[in-house]
Structure 1
Amino acid sequence: MPTAHVTGLAALPNGRYDAPERDLALRVVLDALDDAGRSPRDIDGLYLPKPRPWTPQGFFSTLLANLLGAAPRRTVETYTGGTSGGSAFQTAVADVRAGRAETAVVLAVERNSIIDTADYFRYILGIFDREFQAPAGPSIPAVYAQSMQRYCHEYGVLREAMADIVVKNRANGATNPESVFDAGVSADEVLGSRPIADPLRLFDCPRPCDGAAALVVSSERSGNADGEAVPVAGLGAHHASSHLVGTRDGSLAHLPAVGGAVEDALGDAGCDVESVDVLEPYAPFPHVEAILTEEAGLFDRGEGVAACARGETALDGAHPVSPSGGCLGRGHPAMVTPLLNHVAAVRQVRGTAHNQVDGAETVLTTSEHGHVDGATATVFGGGR
């Protein structure tokens, strides 16, 4: 079974774009192919999250193949919420491993700037259980606010301590030229920002934005002379018995989908969590990052927040988390975020990351949907 390698990548800076999704997608795909030393005619697999309902262009993969002049044997558009990009990438890797594709392109594009707030919340309301949850009018921040409250209660963590995670990620994002932010924040600014859903404040929440990213996955080790081919060592995925409001018979402070996905990915890679040099998680709220580090086995339960305060998750810490800034420091075009994590991971292994961690050889990424009901985990670099 051939090993899949990322041989090319590209990402646009998060922000606001007037160009249509088609143009943004073409730009990152062509740039990623150039990084891989490939042309559109080499594409035999095209994989992407199904664009959001407010994207004007439908049947997106077919249009893209035509505009590129590509003739892929396989085109896949996935929709699994926030894991869509992660699922698309893992499908591409599985096809390369199985010999169904030799040069696969995975892309994601999103323009949140073209939908107004009221329409967006109507869309979000529709993903909750229509009979029992949606009539109560919940929001995504409100669900995560409940799990933050539970985490603080269950482990005796001060809510104010969560601000350290935001401060770290915003500082990382401020030195990442692809971030939507160009400055950090203080803990006082985080805690003093306006309330969103008690106890979440504005700066505890990710900034919606436009974005696009693409990666080339190949069965060959050779990439462009300027870009090292990075092996995809491990894949994992898991879904808890839950739908947006916490697992059945489980605590809101636990996210078992992450633990299951990470265990699978590390097992597939033939390594353990102590081998992971960098974690680039899909963590849209500060307590989620803390819980993810615990579910992954980096810290004991209830220790994720304190570990950040001690500097253990900083760029020069024992377990660097979100050097790119992550959802909180980089911006959050949700369909693109999993691929942005993958791009950040490959750059770390190549030694070309914007916030490079010294000696990074093995990087773990995650993606999630719902209230982390489902998760993917991917290991880049090290492994068997």
Structure 2
Amino acid sequence: MTQTTAPVVAGIGTVPNGTHSVPERDLALTVIRDALEDAAVELPAVDGLYMPAPRPWTRQGFFSTHLLSRLGLPVDRSLEVSTGGTSGGHAFHAAISDIRDGSVETALVLAVERNSTIDTTGPYFDYVLKLFDAEFESPIGMTIPAAYAQSMQRYCHEHGVDREDIAEVVVKNRANGVANPEALFDDELTRGAVLEARPVADPIRLFDCPAPCDGAAAILLTADDIAASDSSPVAVAGTGYHHEASQFITNHGSPITELPAVGRAADQAVDAAGISVADIDAFEPYAPFPHIEAIVAEELGLAERGGGVDACLEGRTAPDGEFPMSPSGGCLGRGHPAMVTPLLNYVAAVRQLRGTAPTQVPDAERVLTTAEHGHVNGATATVFATEV
């Protein structure tokens, strides 16, 4: 891939995951302000705005236009993306593409979500049902945990994985999240607590599920020749994307225990960065359920098929392990405002490379992140590096 300009992360802004009483607009304005301050860039320098389309229950429609009006900001590019959990990844990649081809010089990518305003047993469930096949799956009351429960069952069956061992992925990520002051939780979990929690969709239990919450994040990207001076700038070294011919667990040819979209997207990203997966120092995957993190490790070639859980048990995915996975806590330990999660992964990567992460991987120079939707049938991958 030919890259004429290497985009640089100039600034980041976040709010803690949790419950926020202010409108989404105010959360967005907060993280925008913080990203601009972090970059020492004035608002008029921004000439591109990119974001996931807010959830249907967001009170303010036409959100990006409303936000630009509030900011009094004219831009050359403005984009709202709606592709489920990959929305933030696609918005970010669109900004990267526009910077590379010179369409914009300073791009603001943001995401905001408030799940505390919606009843998860009513309108939220109606929204979820529409994600599945309307003719065959929605009428039976299919849910997202139910889809992932089927792949967890099959994963354990095919590879002889002990269901109880999968709980250790939750334990690890919850511990990582507790160390993160912006994460949702402040208490760790034991294997017993994970396995004894109330069932959600057999064999998935409560703590195997990502906790929906409110959140917001913003990232300011600039062309490399106008980036604010920094002794260790963080560059976006490579991007990738792939979508399988499938929807949730309705696959064509590939088993539900494999996630080829992740592997192919990551291959594209590391190839664009001119490196290999072996050169990555830390990983921040979009893994909403514990066996998904294990399968992601397998897709990346970090563990053999069925060996992703063992990698966790052996400490290889710990922050001080061979290939740290989710040192920020990830979806399970950090909380999961789904539209914001991809950007939270990016922020976590930037902090690792700046050396300011709450759980720091020593001497990190390259971080790989992913975003996904629908049982990882579609995935974006992004490589961040201290140099390109």
Instruction: Specify if TM > 0.5.
Output: yes
Q: Do residues 365 (structure 1) and 369 (structure 2) align? A: yes
Letter in 2 for 1:301: R
Give 1:196's match in structure 2, choosing from 187, 200, 204.
200
Moved more, 249-258 or 213-222: 213-222
Q: SS in structure 1 opposite 2:116? A: helix
Unaligned runs of 5+ in 2: none
Q: SS in structure 2 opposite 1:19? A: coil
- 1:258-277 pair list within 5 angstroms: 258-277=262-281
Unaligned runs of 5+ in 1: none
2:116 alignment partner in structure 1? 113
1:48 alignment partner in structure 2? 51
The CA deviation at 1:260 is: 0.9
Report if the CA contact (8 A) 1:234-1:268 is conserved.
yes
Give 2:13's match in structure 1, choosing from 10, 13, 35.
10
Q: Do residues 244 (structure 1) and 225 (structure 2) align? A: no
1:295-321 deviations in Å (ceiling 9; x for gaps):
111111111000000000001101000
Aligned mates of 1:122, 1:106 — CA distance in 2: 29
1:71-111 deviations in Å (ceiling 9; x for gaps):
11110000000000011001000100110110000000000
The alignment covers a number of residue pairs equal to 384
Give 2:77's match in structure 1, choosing from 57, 74, 78.
74
Q: What TM-score, normalized to structure 2? A: 0.97
Cα 1:247–1:221, aligned 2, differ >3 Å: closer, same or farther? farther
Letter in 1 for 2:15: L
Aligned mates of 2:21, 2:185 — CA distance in 1: 19
The CA deviation at 1:224 is: 4.9
Give 1:336's match in structure 2, choosing from 340, 344, 352.
340
- 1:185-224 pair list within 5 angstroms: 185-220=189-224, 223-224=227-228
Give 2:176's match in structure 1, choosing from 172, 177, 191.
172
Q: SS in structure 2 opposite 1:112? A: coil
- Equivalent pairs: percent with the same residue? 59
Q: SS in structure 2 opposite 1:266? A: helix
The CA deviation at 1:247 is: 2.2
- 1:15-30 pair list within 5 angstroms: 15-30=18-33
Report if the CA contact (8 A) 1:364-1:379 is conserved.
yes
Q: What TM-score, normalized to structure 1? A: 0.98
1:8-44 deviations in Å (ceiling 9; x for gaps):
0011100000100000000001110111111111110
Aligned mates of 2:250, 2:176 — CA distance in 1: 30
Aligned mates of 1:58, 1:78 — CA distance in 2: 13
The CA deviation at 1:228 is: 4.7
Report if the CA contact (8 A) 1:41-1:69 is conserved.
no
Report if the CA contact (8 A) 2:46-2:108 is conserved.
yes
1:122 alignment partner in structure 2? 126
Structure 1 vs Structure 2 CA RMSD: 1.2
- 1:268-307 pair list within 5 angstroms: 268-307=272-311
Report if the CA contact (8 A) 1:36-1:227 is conserved.
no
The CA deviation at 1:291 is: 0.3
Report if the CA contact (8 A) 1:221-1:229 is conserved.
no
Aligned mates of 2:327, 2:262 — CA distance in 1: 20
1:232-285 deviations in Å (ceiling 9; x for gaps):
000000000100114212211001110110011111111000000000000000
Q: Do residues 104 (structure 1) and 103 (structure 2) align? A: no
2:148 alignment partner in structure 1? 144
Cα 1:382–1:251, aligned 2, differ >3 Å: closer, same or farther? farther
